[in-house]
Structure formats: structure tokens, C-alpha cells
């Protein structure tokens, strides 16, 4: 393995390590600015909507939608439970 290949491998390793630290330990993704929901936050949204889409009676393929489009705004008032199809329609409107 030549020197330039080793340097590239070291740089990639460092970048992967930084992304891991940001996402797992700090709770922020380096690519989207999204702050992942905790399991408790997810459970609360599902309970609040009785495990059913907020816009139709579907109970399958449920996803959490951010009302204001800001994926890092995880306030309960900004989170809505939607099925895949309704969520997709909502994203297309924005």
C-alpha cells in the first residue's frame, strides 16, 4: 500500500469517527441536521395518535412527520403520526 492510499484511509477513518461521535454521542447527524427522536419521544407520538395515522384510518406504515418541516425540531407539538402515503403526500406539497 502506497503512502497516498494510507493517507486517504486515515482521512476516511477520521471522517467516519467524527460522524459517529456527532450522531451517536451528541445526537446530531452531520449530513442532515436532523436530531433523532428518542424511543420515548417516538412512543409518545404513537400513543397520542392511538397508533393510527392523523389524516386517515390507516394503522400500517406509520411515520412521524415534522409539521414545520424542521427535522431538528422535536417538540411534541411539532410531531404528527402519519401513514407512509399521507406523509408522502404532505412532503410533495411542501
SS3 65: strand
Dihedral sign from CA coordinates of 63, 59, 78, 36: negative
Domain boundaries, the chain: 1-36, 37-94
Query: Could you tell me the end-to-end alpha-carbon distance of the chain, in angstroms, rounded to an integer?
Result: 49
pLDDT tens string 18-40: 665 555 554 544 456 788 999 99
pLDDT tens string 45-93: 999 999 999 999 999 999 999 999 899 999 999 999 999 999 998 877 6
DSSP label of 77: G
- Residue 93's pLDDT is 65
Residue 49: burial class (beta carbons within 10 Å; 0-12, 13-18, 19+): middle
Amino acid at each position: 500500500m502506497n503512502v497516498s492510499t494510507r493517507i486517504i484511509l486515515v482521512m476516511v477513518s477520521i471522517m467516519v469517527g467524527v460522524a459517529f461521535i456527532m450522531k451517536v454521542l451528541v445526537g446530531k447527524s452531520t449530513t442532515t441536521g436532523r436530531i433523532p427522536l428518542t424511543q420515548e419521544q417516538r412512543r409518545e407520538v404513537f400513543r397520542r395518535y392511538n397508533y393510527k395515522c392523523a389524516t386517515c384510518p390507516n394503522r400500517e406504515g406509520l411515520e412521524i412527520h415534522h409539521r414545520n418541516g424542521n427535522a431538528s425540531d422535536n417538540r411534541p407539538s411539532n410531531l404528527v403520526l402519519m401513514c407512509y402515503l399521507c406523509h408522502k403526500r404532505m412532503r410533495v406539497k411542501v
